[in-house]
Amino acid sequence: GESVGLHLPTLSVQEGDNSIINCAYSNSASDYFIWYKQESGKGPQFIIDIRSNMDKRQGQRVTVLLNKTVKHLSLQIAATQPGDSAVYFCAESGSGNTPLVFGKGTRLSVIA
């Protein structure tokens, strides 16, 4: 069935280094993928999204890579800052307006 998961539950990086957060999904019909950042006590905050007709998309300090062959999604954060410390979720949905299905999240800790 549909499921989205993450490879690592926690990730610690030095301030200024690049971070890579990975996500695997199982639904080959997934059409839309999105990364959210969630800080303690807050709702998920949109970071970046990508559709299945693309394999890379860049934002400000963030890049999302999609490998449909192995059903893998990653989020790269350049020059990681203390403010990037949070839990990061990937989510996916099928075609149309099907609700997003979330993975379990990766907690990113930035070491100053």
Instruction: Please give the residue ranges that form the binding site for other proteins (CB under 8 A).
Output: 4, 34, 36, 41-46, 49, 89, 91, 96-97, 99-105
Q: Which is nearer to other proteins, 36 or 110 (CB)?
A: 36
Q: Which is nearer to other proteins, 36 or 85 (CB)?
A: 36
Q: Provide the strand spans (E) within 1-112.
A: 4-6, 10-14, 19-25, 32-38, 45-51, 56-58, 62-67, 72-77, 86-93, 101-102, 106-111
At its nearest, how many Å lie between other proteins and the CB of residue 43? 4
Question: Residue 82: what are its φ and ψ, rounded to 5°?
Answer: -55, -35
At its nearest, how many Å lie between other proteins and the CB of residue 19? 19
At its nearest, how many Å lie between other proteins and the CB of residue 41? 7
Q: Which is nearer to other proteins, 14 or 58 (CB)?
A: 58
Rounded to whole angstroms, the Cα distance separating 16 from 34 reads 24
Other beta carbons within 10 Å of 109: 13
Q: Which is nearer to other proteins, 46 or 69 (CB)?
A: 46
